[in-house]
Chains A and B, each alone.
Chain A
């Protein structure tokens, strides 16, 4: 198996404003969101970053997607470094998070073509891909409806489709089922498994244990910006349930810190 993604010592700190310091009753000026984080993901697997809110999952994924720069460390995605070759990385990945919105004025058709152009997808490939993906997600009936007039679930599906117009080998998905109804969530998880069977590498972040158990081949547990443990789902579970193991690990880690 090929290691398609290597994360080495990623670190990211944010400066806290005076207001935030007061609010959180702390005197530290710098908050370390991600602390010396390392892991790898193999081609054709789904890797899950599991952790509570505020653990640094989203910050990590944003660094992988080159939206923010790490303070130190690096990540290499299919040979491209997020620090040195961010533009190449952007061409290789599909990144999806609820924070990335589509312009509501446009239709799914228009947006698919627009983002295809930005990704440099040739027109005939673009057409085939659009037809296939729109049919797969039932967007075809709404292809000429403005995004503003679509239902939340349909908007999410359009966002998903638009994020993979360039058929990337690596897909990074922040909280894939957050805010989705059960039907749409199911469509999304099924699709992620389908992508894996096509040999794509998928990184998801979540705090939902069942999602990890259902989807992921390997898991990294992040607490307070550190990778506490990382391995295959079986290695982490050690025969028990993921949830129980997580709380054991959490107690050990936070207990140590305090």
Chain B
């Protein structure tokens, strides 16, 4: 009889959410939107400085030196067209109108002038003028390419020593560590926000909404225990919030490589093993239960859904601030007492999982602490359902 009540309430809540197509869409849409948006943003940022691969930009050059001609030929990627000094103004206009990608004006006898130049002498160095158009992606990227070539040429002329010329692997961080650090700085914040959003999408509606519409009292006059209502609602809301959070999280993980523009095998969630994911799932589950309980309590104080949404605002700010602390890096905290602070402990556990620096005792402490907080919250919620002042406040 006891558990029957919990199950009946859970089933009703789930039927409420999954029977309503709009609700289902509003729960699953965020993940899809995040994926599409992040992918699109990544692509847009990539194409801002990139040009089509087979495009060969045209550069008009005045006084083309043999050395530069050889350099460009060796690297490829642009077509040099020698031009007379008299055509400079015309070429500048062409660059301005984006008809021409680049105009480079070298001093006459550039190679001899460079060879004769002594930096210690204090005279002006030979000056190359390169005209480009920052509004054109092709012109901008050609400009970068040519200045890069010339800079490298200049460095080569004055070569005194090299750094990392051996062609070996010098970054000793493994791909796994790099990706781990990246995920650990970003994912806890995103996950916390997604979980919070998932909870806020359903809990105020289910509790303050029922109060507002007067339907909760109809349940309260049946012999079902108040505690069963509280537990049944929290479990059902947690399921819905988890789905919503999972949808957003999957969208993010799939889109992240596209967002940062890395090849997807360099920044992939594949670096984490089954154990990591299980640990993460446990942390997320305990976080969602706690969040749903907190938001349910706040919603029970409210008379309307709108009021409830105002009450939970401070919690959102708190969740975001705590999520941002993950960005300070340094891996997970090792002191156990950090793991007793609700919500902050979730962030620390996530940082630990993502950066491969999990403090096992810490995660255990966090899960236990969250379970205790949730049970206390359910107890409080039951007391509130019993309070006529709160349930029937108008």
Contacts and interface: CB of A to CB of B under 8 A. Distances in A.
Interface of A: 65-69, 87-88, 90-91, 93, 95, 99-106, 110, 114-115, 117-120, 162
Contacts of A119: 222-223
B392 A103 contact: no
A68 B392 contact: yes
Contacts of A101: 213-215, 218
B16 A103 contact: yes
B221 interface: yes
Contacts of A103: 16, 210, 213, 215
B70 interface: no
Interface in B1-49: 1, 4-5, 8, 12, 15-16, 19-20
B282 interface: no
Interface in B193-227: 210, 213-215, 217-225
A142 B16 CA distance: 19
B388 interface: yes
A15 to B, nearest CB: 9
Contacts of A91: 223
Interface in B221-271: 221-225
B223 A88 contact: yes
Given A101-B213, A103-B210, A87 B388 contact: no
Contact of A102 (B8, B19, B218): B218
Most central of A66, A67, A104, A118 by chain B CB within 10 Å: A118
24 contacts: A66-B221, A67-B220, A67-B221, A67-B388, A68-B392, A69-B388, A88-B223, A90-B222, A90-B223, A100-B215, A100-B217, A101-B213, A101-B214, A102-B215, A102-B218, A105-B16, A110-B15, A114-B8, A114-B12, A118-B219, A119-B222, A120-B1, A120-B4, A162-B218
A87 B218 contact: no
Contacts of B210: 103
A132 B1 CA distance: 26
Contacts of B215: 100-103
A121 B20 CA distance: 27
Nearest to B5: A118
Interface of B: 1, 4-5, 8, 12, 15-16, 19-20, 210, 213-215, 217-225, 388, 392
A101 B218 CA distance: 6
Contact of B214 (A88, A99, A118): A99
B16 A67 contact: no
A69 B215 CA distance: 20
A100 B221 contact: yes
Contacts of B8: 114, 117-118
Pick from B4, B5, B8, B210 the residue with the most CB of A within 10 Å.
B8
A67 B217 contact: yes
Contacts of A87: 223, 225
Contact of B218 (A69, A93, A100, A105): A100
B217 A120 contact: no
Contacts of B19: 105
Nearest to A95: B221
B213 A118 contact: no
Contacts of A162: 218
B223 A120 contact: yes
A16 to B, nearest CB: 13
A42 to B, nearest CB: 23
A65 B221 CA distance: 7
Given A101-B218, A103-B215, A110-B15, A118 B392 contact: no
Given A67-B220, A104-B213, A162-B218, 12 more contacts: A65-B221, A88-B223, A90-B222, A100-B215, A100-B217, A100-B221, A105-B16, A110-B15, A114-B12, A115-B218, A118-B222, A119-B223
A115 B9 CA distance: 10
Contacts of B392: 67-68
Which of B1, B220, B223: most chain A CB closer than 10 A? B223
Contacts of A117: 4, 8
Contacts of B388: 67-69
A67 B224 CA distance: 13
A68 B222 CA distance: 14
B129 to A, nearest CB: 72
A159 B37 CA distance: 47
Contacts of A115: 218, 222
A117 B8 CA distance: 7
A105 B220 contact: no
B305 to A, nearest CB: 14
A162 B224 CA distance: 15
A103 B218 CA distance: 9
A20 B389 CA distance: 16
Contacts of B221: 65-67, 90, 93, 95, 100
Contacts of B1: 120
A88 B223 CA distance: 7
A223 to B, nearest CB: 24
A91 B223 CA distance: 5
Contact of B20 (A68, A100, A105): A105
B392 to A, nearest CB: 7
A15 B272 CA distance: 59
B217 A118 contact: no
Given A68-B392, A105-B19, A117-B8, A99 B222 contact: no
B290 to A, nearest CB: 27
A110 B16 CA distance: 11
A148 to B, nearest CB: 11
A103 B19 CA distance: 13
A172 B274 CA distance: 58
Q: Give 10 nearest A-B pairs by CB, closest first.
A: A101-B214, A118-B222, A91-B223, A68-B388, A117-B8, A100-B218, A90-B223, A118-B224, A103-B215, A95-B221
Contacts of A67: 217, 220-221, 388, 392
